């Protein structure tokens, strides 16, 4: 009933146990249509009252369930390790870019802390979903809600795609930059000001699906919301779209700030 290779191995162990008088343990795997069965096996010498070896005694205990749990745990640990490395790489990139666009230690610490907290907020949503990801709507509420009341200042419309973990982290960072900018210079800095966030499906030139996420808000005429290149605009126009394999455009014209991010379908489930 054992595969030939396993049978030969067990016979060799039994022979050694019989002639050398000791015990041995091993495990056996038997492939089946349902995925296979595992056994822990102990092989001992069988000795009569006169101390003569008369045979071997083999005990086998099925451990399939334990083995499956062990393999699942190892897979989860590998996934956690992989995601942790990705997160550390993102933090390292943010630290470097923030330092490049900061003119003092104090401004660096304030901006870097806010961005790390933004990642932590997105990470909380991803973790609560068992690492599946996060809905765009709840991600927007989470990020904007750190600076303003999203019930009053945020209007969300269109589809609500389920973002995978990588997309949730990077789009969360984009929403953080937009929210900070808005609270400092834009609509959320004004009484009764609101931000429009719309998500609409669209086709890419290669016929693949995508979702266009657009942030739109009215800003004061004299607002410096996008007048200079800072890490925020670099993240919005280069870092985030590059990480998602998409495209982005940040515009400030006629009293309106508009950020449009096209996210390929590989980053979410509609």
- What pLDDT score was predicted for residue 179? 93
Q: What is the pTM of this model?
A: 0.73
In b/e form, how buried is each residue of 207-234, taking b as 16+ CB within 10 angstroms? eeebbbbbbbbbbeeebebbeeebbbbe
In b/e form, how buried is each residue of 11-28, taking b as 16+ CB within 10 angstroms? eebbeebbeeeeebeeeb
Cα 55 from Cα 47, distance rounded (Å): 7
Mean pLDDT computed over every residue of the chain: 88
- What pLDDT score was predicted for residue 228? 45
- Indicate whether 211 pLDDT > 90: yes
- Indicate whether 225 pLDDT > 70: no
Give the list of residues 6+ apart from residue 93 with CB closer than 8 angstroms, or none: 239
- What pLDDT score was predicted for residue 207? 57
CB 263 within 8 A of CB 215: no
Phi then psi for residue 148, to 5 deg, are -155, 165
CB 71 within 8 A of CB 38: no
- What pLDDT score was predicted for residue 118? 92
């Amino acid at each position: 009933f054992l595969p030939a290779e396993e049978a030969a191995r067990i016979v060799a162990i039994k022979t050694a146990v019989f002639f050398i008088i000791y015990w041995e343990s091993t495990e056996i795997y038997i492939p089946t249509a349902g995925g296979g069965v595992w056994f822990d096996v102990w092989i001992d010498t069988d000795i009569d009252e006169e101390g003569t070896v008369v045979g071997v005694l083999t005990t086998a205990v099925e451990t399939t369930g334990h083995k499956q749990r062990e393999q699942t745990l190892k897979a989860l640990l590998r996934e956690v390790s992989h995601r942790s490395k990705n997160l550390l790489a993102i933090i390292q990139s943010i630290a470097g870019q923030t330092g490049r666009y900061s003119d003092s230690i104090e401004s660096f610490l304030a901006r870097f802390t806010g961005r790390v907290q933004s990642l932590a907020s997105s990470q909380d949503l991803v973790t609560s979903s068992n690492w599946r990801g996060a809905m765009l709507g709840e991600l927007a509420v989470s990020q904007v809600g750190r600076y303003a009341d999203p019930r009053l200042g945020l209007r969300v419309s269109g589809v609500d795609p389920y973002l995978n973990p990588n997309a949730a982290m990077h789009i969360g960072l984009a929403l953080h930059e937009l929210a900070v900018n808005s609270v400092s210079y834009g609509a959320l800095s004004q009484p009764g000001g609101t931000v429009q966030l719309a998500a609409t499906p669209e086709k890419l030139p290669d016929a693949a699906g995508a979702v266009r996420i657009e942030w739109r808000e009215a800003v004061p005429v004299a607002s410096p919301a996008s007048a200079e290149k800072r890490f925020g605009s670099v993240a919005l126009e280069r870092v985030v779209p590059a990480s998602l394999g998409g495209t982005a455009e940040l515009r400030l014209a006629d009293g309106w700030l508009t950020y449009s991010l096209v996210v390929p379908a590989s980053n979410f489930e509609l």
